[in-house]
Chain A
């Protein structure tokens, strides 16, 4: 009964808020006492633990940064990766913390912060790597091979860039479906190196391809840079978070969080070396 009443109130409040697309400011967040955030279920970048709290590279850093800004409570929603940007634009949450790759197309839709992490690509295959794959281009060489990607992820762009055909690509809704899909319906799953290594951890049926060569796109090996995404119109909130993030990156706690999830010291340095303006311009 209480939930019904609270939903009723929420509906009325929302109805009152339609049409008034005002930007969310830091003061509003502070007076509300909490901020609404989203992540996709992808270990280790951002995921929901069994007890309902969020963890991962994105959430852990976000929580620390927000504390420095004076926001102590973060409400997490888990939403499919492909719906992070649409959901953000639809005002369902204030920012996305899933370490999405900062790409020129995405920069047109949302405002990214400075990069938080950097990572390469990877392939998940059946145990023993029966098709002997070492890079994305190997899939293009054999048109009978099938590869899966998560809906909304930009691995599909890299696959296409190295020649994989559309009918070889299977789109799955969630990262967690990948091991089952690789076991029975596709030959490989294309995702970031860390995602793949976490999925392969302790599995009898699937493994990470090692050694793996990053796909070459536009003459250079692909490197992804993950960041937090805010709405374009929430400039003040975005700038405040960005400033606090850049400060936080200089601390030891930041290093500790990233290395605890498996990122190497080089990848952390690489993330700090790039800035978001260049990445959005495609450099």
Chain B
């Protein structure tokens, strides 16, 4: 019995169906964690990408080193770090926020690379024309660079969203009750792991496929020449 839903272990099918509502609650947590984490990754990644282009060597090198460090170290250890070390410094975030922050941090290292590649892919001629037309830096970015960048970076950013969805189960290790956490709890109380764990896998599979399909559709719908922002 969990969250008010009792389960029926008489046959695998009844077991599977009876834990569906419980796993559904976990699915909500999974989606929320991915949403918050992704938002953090998008914003933080952009900040990191822009800082990396700074003319001040110290800033660009530090950011480059930091980004590489976060990219090449495991999410699990970063998560443990945030979960156990932050309280030592007085920052006590709820487990969910800690998890979302860890996801956002790790993926910001990836998204910053995507942004960088996207900015670099805008042809030099565009930058030169903007200078020739006396556009300010802000106008250049807003009206010329970013609109052309967006269609190019959507595929990569979309893939990272799908990856992040698949990494959310790691949060169950720091008490976040996502689908995997709940499945493990059910397994521990009933000693039947096969059904709960298989269900989690079977829910993730169509979810990632649908997500990938949606991203593909978005990709196709975007005009190749760029999206005007005004």
Contacts and interface: CB of A to CB of B under 8 A. Distances in A.
A184 B188 contact: no
A85 interface: yes
Interface string B90-120: 0010110000000000000000000000000
B81 to A, nearest CB: 13
A188 to B, nearest CB: 15
Interface in A165-183: 166, 170-173, 180-181, 183
Nearest to B185: A171
B3 A152 contact: no
A85 B193 CA distance: 12
Contacts of B188: 82, 86, 151-152
Contacts of B2: 166
Interface string B1-27: 011100000000000000000000000
B87 A183 contact: yes
A193 to B, nearest CB: 23
Contact of B184 (A85, A89, A151): A151
A184 B87 contact: yes
Nearest to B193: A86
Nearest to A152: B188
B187 interface: yes
Contact of B92 (A82, A172, A185): A185
Nearest to B98: A185
B186 to A, nearest CB: 12
Interface in A70-95: 82, 85-86, 89
Nearest to B190: A105
Contacts of A85: 191
Interface in B168-189: 173, 175, 177, 181, 184-185, 187-188
Contacts of B84: 180
Contacts of B177: 171
B15 to A, nearest CB: 16
Interface in A127-162: 151-152
A170 B175 contact: yes
A91 to B, nearest CB: 15
Interface residues of A, number: 17
Nearest to A82: B188
B87 A180 contact: yes
Contacts of A172: 175
Given A85-B191, A166-B2, A166-B3, A171 B175 contact: yes
Interface residues of B, number: 18
A255 interface: no
Nearest to B1: A160
B142 to A, nearest CB: 43
A173 B172 CA distance: 10
Given A86-B193, A170-B175, A185 B94 contact: yes
A185 B95 contact: yes
A180 B87 CA distance: 9
A21 B220 CA distance: 54
Nearest to A172: B175
Nearest to A180: B84
Nearest to B91: A184
Nearest to A151: B188
A267 interface: no
Nearest to B182: A171
Given A180-B84, A183-B87, A185-B92, A86 B187 contact: yes
A36 interface: no
A151 B185 contact: yes
A109 interface: yes
A54 to B, nearest CB: 23
11 contacts: A85-B191, A86-B193, A89-B191, A151-B188, A152-B188, A166-B2, A166-B3, A170-B95, A181-B175, A185-B94, A185-B95
Interface of A: 82, 85-86, 89, 109, 151-152, 166, 170-173, 180-181, 183-185
Given A82-B188, A171-B185, A180-B84, 15 more contacts: A86-B188, A86-B191, A86-B193, A89-B191, A109-B191, A151-B184, A151-B185, A152-B188, A171-B175, A172-B175, A173-B173, A173-B175, A184-B87, A184-B92, A185-B95
Interface of B: 2-4, 84, 87, 92, 94-95, 173, 175, 177, 181, 184-185, 187-188, 191, 193
9 interchain residue pairs of minimum CB distance: A184-B87, A82-B188, A184-B92, A152-B188, A109-B191, A170-B175, A166-B3, A172-B175, A171-B175
